[in-house]
């Protein structure tokens, strides 16, 4: 299959309405979408990515009133989060609407809903005129794509169209919050820090730095976000072993930079998160064997960053 590239949201949306698979940019990572109301098209998302069928998809819409088409209701805490953070990098888990095909939610009675903030995404969703379930547009298990080129590398020839955009802003995925429980629970830390959620709601479960009280999202059970290189976590760059096929990424500069194949010193946690998946992919292209990655303090975006680092390092 030839994958067409376009910069036109209307053209990309026309592919999707025909039952085809379309990758598109968002402010977090690129997504791989299909028409929620065409179950065969949604099934092809799982095939193209090699995604386990038990891992539910996040449904993307462009307007709040469309939430009624996919969710049965929005509990009060969910409404508060909607008012404060949406559009933006937040996914609300809500009771599912009966009409939404069950392939979208992998048979669950709940549905993840997100309204992205990026204007190109909004134009695309508007032109689609239908809810768009979309996981990250990577081969299952690989780092999420933060550029259209990364989508093409992973899925070129397996999907119908890529809506081109720039490098994504956040570089890590949306924060997933289960709004069907009281208090609400963070299932996946992401681009909106739990501290911001707490400022609005007071109590939020499952996001302590030490571990999670809440049950995880199905998709967070597996090893994830991993490059082919081995990822080793370090507290400080002094733990890095020199080697031409070794790389380092972190906030502190290593003393022995010249003895490493690649060194990425990031300005702050935001920049680190923005660059991480891109660096993973670059290291694979350069045939790096071991990536030493410095963990950061578990606050703000640091929580999502550490989560992605730990998963990439898990074997
Ligand atoms: O930023 C993002 O969220 C990106 C962009 C494309 O929007 N999407 C994304 O989708 O990261 P994906 O499929 O790679 O990750 C979705 C996560 C998975 O861990 C999945 O298990 C969880 O959300 N999830 C989806 N629906 C759920 C549900 N009904 N209940 C619990 N977890 C759910
Ligand atoms: Mg993903």
Q: Which residues contact 52 (CB under 8 A, 6 or more apart)?
A: 46, 140, 222
Instruction: State residue 210's pLDDT score.
Output: 44
Q: Is 220 in the pocket of ligand 1 (CB under 6 A)?
A: yes
Report how far ligand 1's centroid is from the alpha carbon of 260 (Å). 35
State the pLDDT confidence band at 315, using cuts at 50, 70 and 90: confident
Tens of pLDDT, residues 54-97: 999 999 999 999 999 999 999 999 999 999 999 999 999 999 99
| Tokens linked to 172 | 């890590």
| Tokens linked to 80 | 């508060």
| Tokens linked to 170 | 């956040």
Report how far ligand 2's centroid is from the alpha carbon of 30 (Å). 10
Tens of pLDDT, residues 156-171: 999 999 999 999 999 9
Report how far ligand 1's centroid is from the alpha carbon of 253 (Å). 34
Instruction: State residue 212's pLDDT score.
Output: 46
* Cα 131 to chain centroid, rounded: 18
pTM of this prediction? 0.95
Rounded average pLDDT over 283-301: 96
User: Bridge partners of 186?
Assistant: 177
Instruction: State residue 213's pLDDT score.
Output: 44
User: Bridge partners of 293?
Assistant: 233, 249
Residue 114 has pLDDT above 60, yes or no: yes
State the pLDDT confidence band at 257, using cuts at 50, 70 and 90: low
State the pLDDT confidence band at 14, using cuts at 50, 70 and 90: very high
Distances (CA, A) of 152 to 34, 122, 146, 217, 232: 17, 22, 11, 27, 27
Q: Is 173 in the pocket of ligand 1 (CB under 6 A)?
A: yes
Which atom of ligand 1 is found nearest the CA of 217? 32
Residue nearest to atom 21 of ligand 1 (CA): 219
Q: Is 250 in the pocket of ligand 1 (CB under 6 A)?
A: no
Q: Residue holding tokens 């695309």?
A: 124
Q: Is 56 in the pocket of ligand 1 (CB under 6 A)?
A: yes
Report how far ligand 1's centroid is from the alpha carbon of 135 (Å). 6
With vertex at residue 136, the alpha carbon angle to CA 130 and CA 137, rounded to the nearest 5 degrees, is 90
Q: Which ligand is nearest to the CA of 178?
A: 1
Tens of pLDDT, residues 219-256: 666 667 889 999 999 999 999 999 999 999 999 999 86
Report how far ligand 2's centroid is from the alpha carbon of 181 (Å). 24
Rounded average pLDDT over 120-130: 98
Which atom of ligand 1 is found nearest the CA of 55? 21
Q: Is 12 helix (H, G, I), strand (E, B) or coil?
A: helix
pLDDT top residue among 211 and 135: 135
| Rounded Cα–Cα distance for residues 29 and 25 (Å) | 6
Q: Is 58 in the pocket of ligand 1 (CB under 6 A)?
A: yes
Mean pLDDT (the chain) is 94
Q: What b/e string do you get for 283-292 counting C-beta neighbours within 10 Å, with b at 16 or more?
A: bbeeebebbb
Q: Is 70 in the pocket of ligand 1 (CB under 6 A)?
A: no
DSSP 8-state secondary structure symbol assigned to residue 78? H
Report how far ligand 1's centroid is from the alpha carbon of 157 (Å). 24
Among candidate residues 282, 277, 232, 235, the one with its CA nearest the CA of residue 262: 282
């Amino acid at each position: 299959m030839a994958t067409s590239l376009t910069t036109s949201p209307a053209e990309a949306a026309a592919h999707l309405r025909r039952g085809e698979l379309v990758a598109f940019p968002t402010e977090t990572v690129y997504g791989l979408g299909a028409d929620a109301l065409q179950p065969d098209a949604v099934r092809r998302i799982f095939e193209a990515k090699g995604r386990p069928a038990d891992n539910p998809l996040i449904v993307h819409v462009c307007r709040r009133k469309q939430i009624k088409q996919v969710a049965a209701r929005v509990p009060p805490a969910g409404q508060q989060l909607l008012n404060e953070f949406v559009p933006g990098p937040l996914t609300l888990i809500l009771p599912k609407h009966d009409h939404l095909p069950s392939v979208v939610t992998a048979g669950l009675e709940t549905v993840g809903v997100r309204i992205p903030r990026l204007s190109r995404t909004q134009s695309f969703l508007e032109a689609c005129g239908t809810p768009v379930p979309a996981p990250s547009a990577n081969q299952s298990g690989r780092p999420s794509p933060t550029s259209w080129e990364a989508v093409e590398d992973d899925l070129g020839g397996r999907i119908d169209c890529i809506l081109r955009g720039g490098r994504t802003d956040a570089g890590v995925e949306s924060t997933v919050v289960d709004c069907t429980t009281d208090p609400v629970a963070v299932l996946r830390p992401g681009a909106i820090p739990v501290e911001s959620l707490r400022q609005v709601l007071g109590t939020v479960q499952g996001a302590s730095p030490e571990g999670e009280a809440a049950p995880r999202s199905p998709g967070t059970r597996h090893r994830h976000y991993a490059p082919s290189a081995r990822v080793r976590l370090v507290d400080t760059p002094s733990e890095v072993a020199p080697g031409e096929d070794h790389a380092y990424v972190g906030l502190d500069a290593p003393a022995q930079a010249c003895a490493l194949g690649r060194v990425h010193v990031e300005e702050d946690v935001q920049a680190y998160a923005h660059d991480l998946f891109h660096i993973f992919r670059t290291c694979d292209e350069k045939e790096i064997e071991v990536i030493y990655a410095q963990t950061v303090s578990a606050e703000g975006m640091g929580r999502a960053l550490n989560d992605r680092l730990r998963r990439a390092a898990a074997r």
